[in-house]
Amino acid sequence: MAEVVIVPSAEEAGRLAADAIIRLIARKPNAVLGLATGSTPLSTYAALAERATAEAGDLTHVRGFALDEYLGLPADHPESYRAVITREVVEPLGLTPPNIHVPNGSPDGIETAGDDYERAIVAAGGVDLQILGIGTDGHVGFNEPGSSFASLTRVKTLTEQTRRDNARFFAAQNAGEASDAVPMHCITQGLGTILRARHLVLLAFGAAKAAAVAAAVEGPVTASQPGSIIQLHPHTTVIIDEAAAADLANADYYRHAWLNRPAWQQL
């Protein structure tokens, strides 16, 4: 079972996730991080940036692989995940740009981009710690409902719900329908790729995520709820706020287990 930690705020969640990442980097300075985009991981990146130099020391050897990328956005588009990762992770943390990989969403070479990405992850020795958000429709990465548990990095079509959810990031480009500016396609690590990471840290905040979190943590394991893959992984930590925990049947047990965790147990 995933370890579920219910915290008062996204900031507290970010601090806990950053603790796990800092411990990993102390043990393995060239650790491989799986980097999520979207609003959810921002408190983790902020906590890391605050403590990076003081506690984590030299981050220049850290390597990273983004979960996904939109298809067909120009490389310099501010909402391309290459640009987002550069702005929100690489620059604030002082990471080394060539160490940080993002799937290639350019139409040139798209046929091989997924295989190339898988090879690069394998060549790096695999992902040590994968940061994950979850979509309101239950997606992880951009693996929309129905994605195969064995899937690897490949092109997917976004659901209209995901395009609506992400329209807020594209507000400056929106002319017509709210979601018009959001690309229809993406390239995403597969659920099979994500399952190979050694530690999954799934974060979720707010009432809009409560149903997806409950389905992921307690629902049946089903491709209809891609987040439910966490139940197949030997080391998953779910860090959520009270609102995102609202639909969990066993929330009291998770709180009890966290409060009474053995002193040696770390995330």
> Considering beta carbons, is residue 56 or 105 the nearer one to ligand PGA?
105
Q: Looking at the annotation, which residues are catalytic?
A: 68, 137, 139, 144
Q: Which is nearer to ligand PGA, 39 or 250 (CB)?
A: 39
Contacts to ligand PGA from residues 136-155, by CB under 6 A: 139
Q: Per rule CB under 6 A, is residue 40 in the interface with ligand PGA?
A: yes
Total binding residues toward ligand PGA, as defined by CB under 6 A? 7
> What's 140's DSSP letter?
B
Closest distance between ligand PGA and the C-beta of residue 92, in Å?
17
Least distance in Å: CB of 60 to ligand PGA? 27
Q: Which stretch binds ligand PGA (CB under 6 A): 38-46, 69-77, 190-198, 252-260?
A: 38-46
Which of 39, 86, 159, 231 lies at the binding interface for ligand PGA (CB under 6 A)? Answer: 39
Does the footprint of ligand PGA cover residue 227 (CB under 6 A)? no
Among 34, 38, 219, 226, which residue interacts with ligand PGA (rule: CB under 6 A)?
A: 38
Cα dihedral value 167, 84, 44, 244, nearest 10: 10
Pairing type for strands 68-70 and 63-66 reads: unpaired
Task: State which residue has the least CB distance to ligand PGA.
Answer: 38
Q: What track of x and - describes contact with ligand PGA for positions 98 through 137 (by CB under 6 A)?
A: -----------------------------------xxx--
Least distance CB 203 / ligand PGA (angstroms): 8
47 three-state secondary structure: helix
In the block, which residue shows the tokens 């958000």?
133
| Cross-strand pairs, 157 | 185
159 lines the binding site for ligand PGA (CB under 6 A): no
Burial-class residue 218 by CB neighbours within 10 Å (0-12, 13-18, 19+): middle
Residue with smaller CB distance to ligand PGA, 99 or 236: 236
* Shortest separation between residue 139's beta carbon and ligand PGA, angstroms: 6
CB neighbour burial string for 174-202, b if at least 16 within 10 angstroms, e if fewer: eeeeebebbbeebbbbbbbbbbbbbbbbb
Q: Identify which of residues 48 and 134 has a Cβ nearer to ligand PGA in the complex.
A: 134
CB of 135 to ligand PGA, least distance (A): 4
Burial of 131 per CB tally in 10 Å (0-12, 13-18, 19+): buried
Q: Which residue in this structure is represented by tokens 């850290």? A: 62
Work out the number of other CB atoms within 10 angstroms of the CB of residue 124: 16
Query: What are the start-end ranges of the E strands in 71-205?
Result: 100-101, 129-132, 154-157, 185-188, 199-204
Q: Which is nearer to ligand PGA, 81 or 117 (CB)?
A: 81
Task: Copy the structure tokens of residue 150.
Answer: 């064995």
CA distance 218 to 231: 8
Question: Would you tell me which residues interact with ligand PGA (CB under 6 A)?
Answer: 38-40, 133-135, 139
